[in-house]
Amino acid sequence: MLILLTFAQNHIDSFASWDVETVLKKINGSQNIWLRCIHFRDRTGIAKIIKHFGLNPSRVNTIFNSSPIGVDQDIEDCLFNSYEILTPEMKEQEFEVVRGSIVVGTNFIITFEIAEVKIFNLLINKLEKHSTELASLRIDHLFYLIFKDIFSNYHNVFNYISIQLDDLEDEVLENSGDELTYQKIAKMRQSTRFVRRNFQSIKSLLAMMNDEDFHWLSQPVKALFNEELIHQVDNLWQEYQALRAWMSELMEIQRDNIASKTSERINRLTMLSSIFLPITFIAGLYGMNFKYMPELEQPWAYPTVITVMALIVIGSIAYAKQQRWL
């Protein structure tokens, strides 16, 4: 789906269609626009969009290829950034990630969204509620608002992860050796591992903005990035590292729980083997059936041997409990 958002004086005009030509005809070059390409993977259609905005045709390959996230500086026709955004939504016990690319030009933003980014929907709703501010809204300032909401989303995600870890910590500290608890923590840790390179990419972008040749953002917007978002990135980075350390600690404790429970089972099996070892010896001894074994012909032999075996079992169990082996 192609959604064209045109920022008029005091409102946002929205137009949606699957037809590229129809959408491109609606674009007014004198107005600021945001074109959202959601679940749109038509290579020919994307090539038409890239051509319409005067961008290098190689951008099409960058959009479709699984390139590392970050800012592309190789071609200076726009600000091109690939993104991965962690969401609080879960799928098969893993956090979902939305991926795509964002292109910023003189008076346009294009977002290629492999999956719909709900953060963008919320931002558009906020802009519509504050329609009086649209007259002075610049594209680079809209780019700033997008990143600001992405950071707010990460705060929400990290808070949600903290709540999940609190519940998992209760399970872990109950000394439960359940393998499922360990798998939950491991999957959570695995599904958040890419956030490291995401923040590194954002830090690279913020550092790049201080370059005088970086002309895609005005000085006021650069100041907003430097004054507000750099501090937020540092806080989020520290919070992320703390969460990763928390996950690692819980995994270690749970691994010890599992090992302790396994060791306890082995000890019990060893104790049972120790109890039945003398009984097995007695049974083997009298099972040889030698002709000159006088006990075999005595009427008291069988009950005596059974009694001795029972006393060995009872005595071994009592001794094991006294030593707290059982």
What are 8-17's pLDDT values in tens digits?
777 888 899 9
pLDDT of residue 326: 67
In sequence order, what are the residues at sequence separation of 6 or more whose Cβ sits closer than 8 angstroms to the Cβ of residue 210? Answer: 222, 226
In degrees rounded to 5, what are phi and psi of residue 66?
Answer: -85, 70
Cα separation, 121 vs 36, whole angstroms: 10
Confirm if 296 and 286 have CB atoms less than 8 A apart: yes
Angle (CA) 250-169-241 rounded to 5° is 50
Cα separation, 89 vs 322, whole angstroms: 52
User: What's this model's pTM, rounded to 2 decimal places?
Assistant: 0.74
Using one digit for the tens of pLDDT, what is the confidence trace for 101-132?
Answer: 888 888 899 999 988 888 899 988 888 887 66
Cα separation, 205 vs 203, whole angstroms: 5
- By the 10 Å C-beta count (0-12 exposed, 13-18 middle, 19+ buried), 40 is classed as middle
In sequence order, what are the residues at sequence separation of 6 or more whose Cβ sits closer than 8 angstroms to the Cβ of residue 196? Answer: 240
Using one digit for the tens of pLDDT, what is the confidence trace for 133-146?
Answer: 666 678 888 888 99
Using one digit for the tens of pLDDT, what is the confidence trace for 208-265?
Answer: 777 656 677 788 888 888 888 888 888 899 999 999 999 999 888 888 888 877 877 7
pLDDT at position 70 over 60: no
Arithmetic mean of pLDDT, 66-90 = 69
The percentage of the chain sitting over the pLDDT mark of 90, rounded to a whole number, equals: 13
The radius of gyration of the chain from alpha carbons, rounded to an integer in Å, stands at 34
Compare 150 and 176 and report the one with higher pLDDT: 150
Confirm if 34 and 5 have CB atoms less than 8 A apart: yes
In sequence order, what are the residues at sequence separation of 6 or more whose Cβ sits closer than 8 angstroms to the Cβ of residue 64? Answer: 41, 43, 46
Tokens of 146: 């997008």
- By the 10 Å C-beta count (0-12 exposed, 13-18 middle, 19+ buried), 206 is classed as middle
**Strand 32-38 versus strand 108-113 pairing type:** parallel
pLDDT of residue 245: 92
Q: Give the Å distances, CA to CA, from 172 to 177, 179, 184.
A: 8, 11, 11
- Beta strands per DSSP E along the chain: 2-7, 12-17, 32-38, 70-72, 79-91, 94-104, 108-113
Cα separation, 30 vs 81, whole angstroms: 24
pLDDT of residue 132: 60
Cα separation, 207 vs 226, whole angstroms: 9
pLDDT at position 69 over 70: no
What's the whole-number average pLDDT of the chain?
Answer: 82
